[in-house]
Amino acid sequence: MAKVIVRNVSKSYEKHVLGPCSFTVEEGNTLLVMGPSGSGKSTLLKACAGLLKVEGEILLEDSKRVCVVFDESKCLNHLSVQDNISLGMKKEGYSEEEIRQRVYDVAERVHLSEHLLKRPDECSLGQRQRIALARALVRDFDILLMDEPFTGLDILLRRQMLSWLKQMQKEKGFTCMMVTHDHRDAKILSDQVLILNEGHVEMLDTYEQCLNHPVNEFVGAFLK
Ligand code: ADP
Ligand code: MG
C-alpha cells in the first residue's frame, strides 16, 4: 500500500512561502492540512501532486495511481456530465459496463444522478465542483490529494461526502491528504492534522491533541 513521504520540502517565489517541512502520511491514513489563507496549504498539496517544482524530496511510495482534486479542476463544456466523469477511463482499461456502473454509483453519491445528461455549463457551481470530485473518485487510486473539495457544499451533503469517503477508505485503504478550513472534517476524517502558518509547520498531531494540547498560542487560537 502507498504512503506519502515529504522530506525538507520548501518553496519560494519572490518570497519564501513554504517549509522546510518533513512528514510521512502512513498507508491508509488521512492527513488534513489546515491553516489561514495564504499559509501554503495549496502549495504543499500541489507539490505532493507533482504539479509544482519545490526544493526537497517527495516520495509517493508504492503508489500506482494518484488521484487529485483541486478547485481549478476544469469541466469540458462540449461533453455531458457523465462523459466528463468518465473521461479517459476507456483508455485506462475500464470496460464499458464497468464505466457505466461506476459512473452511476459515484453520481448517486455526489447527488448528480439527475444531471448526467446535462452539460457542465448548464450546472451550478456546486454541481460542477461535484463533477470534478466524481471524475476523480470514480477510478481506482491508492493516494488521494484534495484541496478544499467540499467548499461551497451544503452541510448535509458535506456530511454525507465525508462519511462516504471514510467508508471508502476503510474498504480500499487508500492514503489521503486533504486541505480543509473546516474543523468538522478534521474531527471526522483525520488521523493527523498539519497546521501551517506562513509556510511554517506549527503542529502535526492528532486533531484531539492539536485541539486540547496546542503547542503554542497560534495553534490554540486557530483551532478555537
Ligand atoms: P493557501 O492555499 O494556504 O491559501 P497558497 O499555497 O495558495 O496558500 O499560497 C501560499 C503563498 O504563496 C501565498 O502568499 C501566495 O500568494 C503565494 N503564491 C502561491 N502561488 C504563487 C505563484 N504562482 N507566484 C507567486 N506567489 C504565489
Ligand atoms: Mg489554497
Show the 3-state SS of 85-110. Answer: HCCCCCCCCCCHHHHHHHHHHHHHHC
- How far is residue 195's CA from residue 41's CA, in Å, rounded to a whole number? 9
Residue 28 maps to a domain? yes
| Grid cell at residue 105 | 454509483
Identify the three-state secondary structure at position 84.
helix
Residue 100 maps to a domain? no
| Grid cell at residue 67 | 488521484
Residue 90 maps to a domain? no
Q: What is the pLDDT of residue 67?
A: 92
Q: What is the pLDDT of residue 154?
A: 86
What's phi and psi for 205, nearest 5 deg? -165, -175
Residue spans of alpha helices (H) in 110-206: 125-137, 155-172, 183-189
Residues of the chain above pLDDT 90, percent? 80
Region 107-131: what's the mean pLDDT? Answer: 93
Region 17-44: what's the mean pLDDT? Answer: 97
Region 185-202: what's the mean pLDDT? Answer: 95
Domain that holds residue 59: 1-65+182-224
| Grid cell at residue 119 | 452539460
DSSP state of 178: E
Which ligand is the nearest neighbour of the Cα of 195?
Answer: 1
75-117: per-residue pLDDT in tens? 899 999 999 999 989 999 999 999 999 999 999 999 999 999 9
Ligand 2 centre distance from Cα of residue 117 (Å) = 31
Residue 217 in this model has a pLDDT that exceeds 80: yes
Residue 17 maps to a domain? yes
Sign of CA dihedral 38, 164, 133, 95: positive
Residue 56 in this model has a pLDDT that exceeds 90: yes
Atom of ligand 1 nearest to the CA of 45: 6
What's phi and psi for 149, nearest 5 deg? -70, -20
| Grid cell at residue 148 | 478544499
- Residue 174 identity (one-letter amino acid): F
Region 179-203: what's the mean pLDDT? Answer: 94
Residues of the chain above pLDDT 70, percent? 99
Neighbours of ion ligand 2 (CB under 5 A): 41-42
> 85, 49 in Cβ contact below 8 A?
no
Question: End-to-end alpha-carbon separation of the chain, Å?
Answer: 35
Rounded to the nearest integer, the mean pLDDT of the chain is 94
Residues contacting residue 102 through CB under 8 Å, at least 6 positions apart? 86, 89, 94, 138, 139
Ligand 2 centre distance from Cα of residue 64 (Å) = 26
The total of structural domains in the chain comes to 1
Q: What is the pLDDT of residue 72?
A: 64
Residue 35 maps to a domain? yes
Name the residue with the closest Cα to ligand 1, atom 10.
40
Residue 43 in this model has a pLDDT that exceeds 90: yes
Region 157-172: what's the mean pLDDT? Answer: 90
| Grid cell at residue 197 | 502558518
Which ligand is the nearest neighbour of the Cα of 40?
Answer: 1
Q: Hey, which of 10, 12, 13 would you mutate to test ligand 1's pocket, going by the most ligand atoms within 8 Å of its Cβ?
A: 13
Please report, for the domain that includes residue 13, its CATH number. 3.40.50.300
- How far is residue 195's CA from residue 215's CA, in Å, rounded to a whole number? 11
